[in-house]
Structure 1
Amino acid sequence: MRKKMFGLILGIISIPVFACLNGETLKLEDGTILYEDYDGFVPHGHQFGDNKRLSEVLLSLEKGYHETKNLNFLSDKGLILIIQGKYQEAIELYNKIEKSDPDRYSTASNIGTAYELMGNNEKALYWIEKAIEIMPDSHYGSEWIHANILKAKIKGDQYITSQFLINHDFGNTKIPVSTLNKKQLHSLREQLYYQLNERMTFVKPVDKIVAQLLFDLGNVSYLYGDKEEAMEDYEKAKEYGFKDPLLKERINLHPIPIDRQVEKKLIKEAKFHTNPLRRFHLIEMLISVCAFMFSCLLVFIFRKKIFLLLK
């Protein structure tokens, strides 16, 4: 009995700690976690760190390629160059990769992104459509939205509509309407979130396309039943310059209390500004402290029995 009691207490104190990092992550070939997003369907864009960190990652990737000749290191290097705004250098690198190993999805999609960020939408569309041919299901099968965005850019602002960009419309009534079922709404929600999260990394307010897609994401989230996130998407659409009077009506469908807004903002800030590794150790420490406090509580509750056992 004595051994069991001490075993229980010791076991609680020494509980092994496990924690998983929430949200989407991108891990590079050298093991670097380039970014980590938080859970949910409200896009904010990725946080990559400062240029010093990116330069260190570049050196690590170059070293990895030198040692292994693995093209994944070079492909990841191209991604870092795009993040740093070195679009032409990235395109030249990806062209070399394309000659060495044709029809890689990462090559086509990243060249397309680089050309778009340079303002060459025609070339961007060519490469994005090629990427879709290579791997149509990539990024939750969302690259068709990227292609439609580029087509709208080429054709003109009159094509920046829900129907053109996502092949769907949610009506002009106060409450959004749709013929999509729950499964279809979930799929479209994932696709819109992914495309917006990528785009908002590079495109800051005001932007008509991002504003329109945020409004659409809000409509999808509302219809899916996640009204709080829908309101956040609507607010972001407003931030990005969405002008339709319908936005105000839909924002008022489900007002979020101030205390809830503050709570969500604090969680968001903690997520963005806490390094993933430090957060892991923070969670680890908190769980350990809780386990220790629980063990102390058990000792206090059963103190008489413990003292009897010790005699």
Structure 2
Amino acid sequence: MNKFKVFVVLVLVSFKTFACLNGETKVLANGVEAYIDHDGLVPQGHNFFRGEYPKLIIQLDSLYKETNDLDYISDKGYLLIVLGKYHEALKLYLNIEKIESNRYSTASNLGTLYELMGENQKAYDWIKKSVAINPESHNSSEWLHLKILEAKIRNLSNISGQFLTNASFGTTGIPETKLSKKEIDKLAKAVYFQVNERISFIEPKDNIISILLFELGNLVELKGEHENALQIYRKAREYGYDNDLIVARMINSAQGESEFYRERAWRFGIQLQNLRESRKVDSGYLFQIEMSLIILSVITILLLIVGIFFFLKWKKLNKAIPAS
């Protein structure tokens, strides 16, 4: 293995991969992408190409007139939803239902539409119908969609994460679960899908979204993705989830991330020492590796500072709140 390859391997071992725009996409019937998602389990919402939608709607209309293929007009309805033209989209989908009933896309989009319009019982009925047509739709996460709508219909004042996800992660600073690794992965993907869909349309603050984000943070922390869990906890607070437990979980995730980098730095140091002793690399190459080790150390220190900052801020906020 040459010097360059050794260096690349050491750097790849030492750093995590950051999320990028290479996640799932929605491709319309005419082959054009409507949005693209970030990779990973940190919800950031769909990256819609809204500026292209007016032109796309004209194209889809034209293709429908030429072919009578309902997929084109159904995709037009989706773009109308994203643009906030709910009543126009509703009229379109109800018309499609008259032409050809029991289409999955119609039932699913009508469920989304009615929920966005605040008509939760109708939304529940259409989502239930869409699940009957295609049980594996939306990464098999629509059971969670139905639980969310159930909570809205019942107007529950104290919704818990356990009610929504059928799982509990304890009340200590470290999430606890009896779920297997496979079950954690499956539930994390389901919660991510539903949350990512919602934050694409709903701005903070929102109680149900905040709860789901908190539970997703717990699942991601259990997967050992400390930095991602910390990002999700922050977003949960942005959407309104704010109590002592989430602060404790954030501190735990920050500590876990610093430990990750500390361990990588230690392993990096051992590898560097072995290279020195082998005397098979020149001083310039060793300097490159040492600089990478310094960067890792700086990252560890910064993460510790962030953890301490959040802890002190939390203590200050608690002191500022008068006892009832």
> How far 1:158 moved relative to its partner?
2.8
- 8 Å CA contact retained: 1:87, 1:114: yes
Q: 2:214: which partner in 1?
A: 215
Give the structure-1-normalised TM-score. Answer: 0.74
Residue 226 of structure 2 aligns with an amino acid whose one-letter code is K
Contact 1:125 1:150 in 2 (8 A): yes
Task: Indicate the structure whose relative CO is greater, using CA pairs within 8 Å and at least 6 residues apart.
Answer: 1
Aligned pair in 2 of structure 1 residues 95, 180: CA closer, same or farther (>3 Å)?
same
Structure-to-structure mapping, 1:238-277, within 5 angstroms:
238-255=237-254
Instruction: Determine the structure 2 residue equivalent to 1:58.
Output: 57
- What CA distance in whole angstroms lies between the structure 2 residues aligned with 1:195 and 1:182? 20
The 5-angstrom pairing of residues 145-294 of structure 1 reads: 145-255=144-254
When the two chains are superposed, the root-mean-square deviation of aligned CA atoms in Å is 1.9
Shift of 1:259: 5.4
Alignment partner of 2:253: what SS?
Answer: coil
Q: Distance in 1 between matches of 2:156 and 2:234?
A: 22
Runs of 4 or more consecutive aligned structure 1 residues displaced over 4 Å after TM superposition:
256-260
Q: Report the TM-score when normalising by structure 2.
A: 0.71
What is the distance in 2 between the residues matched to 1:35 and 1:160?
A: 31
Q: 2:119 and 2:212 mapped to 1: Cα distance?
A: 21
Residue-by-residue CA offset, 1:85-132 (whole Å, 9 max, x unaligned): 111221211112112221111100100111111111111111111111
Structure 1 unmatched runs, 5+:
1-20, 263-311
User: What does the per-residue CA deviation read over 1:19-51, in whole Å, with 9 as the maximum and x for residues that have no partner?
Assistant: xx721111101111111112110001112134x
Which residue of 1 is the match for residue 46 of structure 2?
A: 46
* Structure 2 Cα separation of the partners of residues 210 and 246 of structure 1: 17
Matched pairs, number: 241
Deviations 1:205-231 (A, max 9, x none): 111111000000000111122122111
1:29 aligns with 2:29: yes
Letter in 2 for 1:242: Y
In the alignment, the residues of structure 2 paired with residue 229 and residue 97 of structure 1 have an alpha-carbon distance, to the nearest angstrom, of 41
Hey, what's the Cα distance between the residues in 2 that align with 1:73 and 1:159? Answer: 42
The separation in 1 between residues aligned to 2:172 and 2:61, in whole angstroms, is 55
Residues 66 and 259 of structure 1, relative CA distance in 2, 3 Å threshold: farther
Tell me, what secondary structure is at the counterpart of 2:175? coil
Which amino acid letter does the alignment assign opposite residue 239 of structure 2?
A: Y
In structure 2, what is the Cα distance between the partners aligned to 1:62 and 1:241?
41
- SS of structure 1 residue aligned to 2:35: strand
AA paired with 1:222?
E
Instruction: Tell me if structure 1 keeps the 8 A contact 2:221–2:253.
Output: no
* Kept in 2: contact 1:152–1:159 (CA 8 A): no
For 1:86, the aligned partner's letter is K
Give how far 1:155 is off. Answer: 1.4
Amino acid at match of 2:186: S
Q: Aligned partner of 1:148: which letter?
A: K
